[in-house]
Amino acid sequence: MSDVATPLTASGTTPLTAKDFATDQEVRWCPGCGDYSILKQVQTILPQTGIPRENIVIISGIGCSSRFPYYMNTYGMHSIHGRATAIASGLKATRPELSVWIVTGDGDSLSIGGNHTIHLLRRNFNVNILLFNNQIYGLTKGQYSPTSEINKVTKSTPAGSLDHPFNPLALALGADATFIARSMDRDPKHLQQMLLRSHGHYGASLLEIYQNCNIFNDGAFEIFTEKGTKAEEGLFLEQGQPLIFGANRDKGIRLDGYKPQLVSLNEGYGPDDLWIHDERDFFKAQILTRMFDEPSVEGHFPRPFGVFFETERATYEDGLNMQIEEVIASKGRGNLDKLLEGKETWVIEE
């Protein structure tokens, strides 16, 4: 037993560790599922936030990812399909001091819950959305999802899907999200960084996490996670840094106006010629969310990972509580009878 005392927090309590956020529940995901890694990284970063467990709430909808609250030693709620965002909005409006995390999947948040997701983002509640994107319905055994690629052959699309897929981050920008980022289950260090960035943002954060479903859609993101292809296929964004990628760090992206171009750093181009990433640039963020879809003469563009965009805007709960305080201050306590009566009344004469 060590004779070195465990350092205490300012309140005199022992600091929390990842183990403190694990429950005694058996984790019931398929062996090899990417959800295990995501769970581990969330449990790892939460002690770093300094927030007591009783002030943290995990809310989920329906899907494999939605088992998350059972495995987190915090408050939580396993809600109904697509409605985790709505329930989290209500909780945050009434208990703004809580740290609220929404755990959802591409089917849960973009299909039946799509409407709730975009409205939470535009209202800008100070919550964190973790969107596990595996491009398939895993819990219901392998049907295509709103992010499945065109011509995807599944149990529900035996001849191939005809649906054009959602681009989650482009959708979030369209809803005026104030923070969007992307990471993946098989890059623990990067995922931890993105989780902490999401938590640090004051407003609605949406972190898309590429998550491998090894049973029904194995290898969907393999080129971004495997050692032999990751450096060539992934572009890791850093604030204020040029967009450089490649196994030898010899490839870059520059802008011709607002059109991205692939260039070689061995053929006359240097870092100063390249696109410098700025997380505050809304217009360039839109290019980044779509960039990998654009064909190029030199080859296809890499897939960006990291923080695409961050801005500041008043949160819904702050505005709501300020409005309540102003009403109380100007008129005293509300009159329920007058509220129900409203302003549009009339008298029926005989």
Q: Mean pLDDT across the chain, nearest whole number?
A: 92
Beta bridge partners of 75: 57
Q: Output the pLDDT for position 334.
A: 67
Strand runs (DSSP E) across 80-141, as ranges?
99-105, 128-133
Annotate 244-253 with b (16+ C-beta within 10 A) or e (fewer): bbeeeeebbb
Helix (H) or strand (E) holding 111: none
The Cβ-side half-sphere exposure at 288, using a 13 Å CA radius, reads: 29
Do the strands 75-78 and 99-105 form a parallel or antiparallel pair, or are they unpaired? unpaired
The 10s digit of each residue's pLDDT in 31-70 is 999 999 999 999 999 999 999 999 999 999 999 999 999 9
Q: Output the pLDDT for position 307.
A: 98
Beta bridge partners of 210: 133, 184
Tokens of 232: 């060539």
Strand runs (DSSP E) across 226-313, as ranges?
234-236, 244-245, 251-256, 259-264, 303-310
Dihedral of CA 231/237/241/244: which sign?
Answer: positive
149 conformational bin, left if phi > 0, alpha if psi -120 to 50, beta if neither: beta
Confidence of residue 294 (pLDDT cuts 50, 70, 90): low
Query: Is there a contact between 49 and 66 (Cβ–Cβ < 8 Å)?
Result: no
CATH of the domain spanning 18-225, picked from 3.90.650.10, 2.60.120.10, 3.40.640.10, 3.40.50.970: 3.40.50.970
Cα separation, 322 vs 327, in Å, equals 9
User: Which sequence spans correspond to the domains of the chain?
Assistant: 18-225
Dihedrals phi, psi of 72, to nearest 5 degrees:
-115, 125
Confidence of residue 11 (pLDDT cuts 50, 70, 90): low
Nearest to 97 by CA among 56, 46, 48, 53: 56
Query: Over 70: is that where the pLDDT of 298 sits?
Result: no
Query: Cα 199 from chain centroid?
Result: 10
Beta bridge partners of 242: 276
